[in-house]
Structure 1
Amino acid sequence: MGVHLKTKNLIYEIGAIDFLTSFFHTIEYRLTKGFFGKKYPIILGEFYDGELKYENLERAEKELKDIQKRLKKFKPSKVIWDKNDLKKTPPWENNISEDITDLSNYYVTSNGKDLFEIIFLAIEDAKYLKSGIIIE
């Protein structure tokens, strides 16, 4: 079953729930040393829980920019598919595009778009619409 982000009246396709969960697990495991929600409270707290409130969009954007910058330091092989089972690998294992050079560009949505770009676009649209973002 696929998930998407939704603002007032716009939908942004993401892909499988495991894919999006891996995104959050990779951020937590690689960038926060296991302190889930402490380093990035909006992204790993509110957004991970399924809703990004309008009043936190600016802060979420800042956290995401820092996350994206820091994930550039990690090779694609450092992806975390499931923080509770670190041996678990993505369904495609290591068979990834040569365009994926690090964890900042590892996550590509089901329709071929960079996940960070989609989230940034959703944030911009939500700001314009004065809306939050929901993960459905």
Structure 2
Amino acid sequence: MAVGILVDCFFYELGHGHFVQSFFSTISYHFEKEGGGSKYPLLMNALYGEELKGEDVSIVMESLTEIKQELSKMSPEQVIWDFNDLSQRPPWGNKLSSKVTNLENYFSTTDGKTFIDKIRIAIEVAEENKCDL
């Protein structure tokens, strides 16, 4: 089942639930040393958790810029499939496309956009329409 972000009547698909969980697990594991949501509460607790209020989208946009820079410096082997069970590995193992060169582009959608770019698009639409995600 596809998971994504709903903004008004627009759905921005990210991918399978396990893959989306891996994205947020990777962020939390590598950047939130005091636990999930400690550094990026709006991204991790609001957007990933349930709902991000429209008035908070600019803060999340700033967080995404920082996360994008950091993930682009990390190798695909540093992916965390499940923060709750670090022994879990992606079902495809280490068999990756040659286009996957870092953790930022590891998390891509079927249309070729990265998760971060897709989330940014959803945020821009939410800002424009003054609504929640």
What TM-score comes out, normalization by structure 2 length?
A: 0.94
* CA drift at 1:34: 4.3
Show the 5 A alignment for 1:34-73: 34-73=34-73
* CA drift at 1:60: 0.6
Runs of 4+ in 1 over 6 A off after TM superposition: none
* CA drift at 1:112: 3.1
Counterpart of 2:112? Answer: 112
Determine what percentage of the aligned residue pairs are the same residue. Answer: 39
> Over aligned residues, Cα RMSD in angstroms?
1.2
Amino acid at match of 1:83: F
Q: CA contact under 8 A between 2:104 and 2:114: conserved in structure 1?
A: no
* CA drift at 1:81: 0.3
Structure 2 runs not aligned, ≥5 long: none
Amino acid at match of 2:106: Y
State the alpha-carbon separation in 1 of the partners of residues 92 and 112 from structure 2.
15
User: 3-state DSSP class of the match of 1:105?
Assistant: helix
State whether structure 2 residue 99 is matched by structure 1 residue 131: no
State the alpha-carbon separation in 2 of the partners of residues 58 and 32 from structure 1.
20
Counterpart of 2:27? Answer: 27
What TM-score comes out, normalization by structure 1 length?
A: 0.92
Amino acid at match of 1:12: Y
State the alpha-carbon separation in 1 of the partners of residues 74 and 67 from structure 2.
11
- My pick for the range that moved more, 107-116 or 2-11, is 107-116
* CA drift at 1:105: 1.2
Amino acid at match of 1:108: S
Greater helix proportion: 2
State the alpha-carbon separation in 1 of the partners of residues 65 and 122 from structure 2.
14
Q: Deviations over 1:33-92 (max 9, x none)?
A: 242111111111111212111010000100111111111221000000011221211111
Q: CA contact under 8 A between 1:108 and 1:114: conserved in structure 2?
A: yes
Counterpart of 2:4? Answer: 4
- My pick for the range that moved more, 107-116 or 71-80, is 107-116
Structure 1 runs not aligned, ≥5 long: none
Q: CA contact under 8 A between 1:28 and 1:34: conserved in structure 2?
A: no
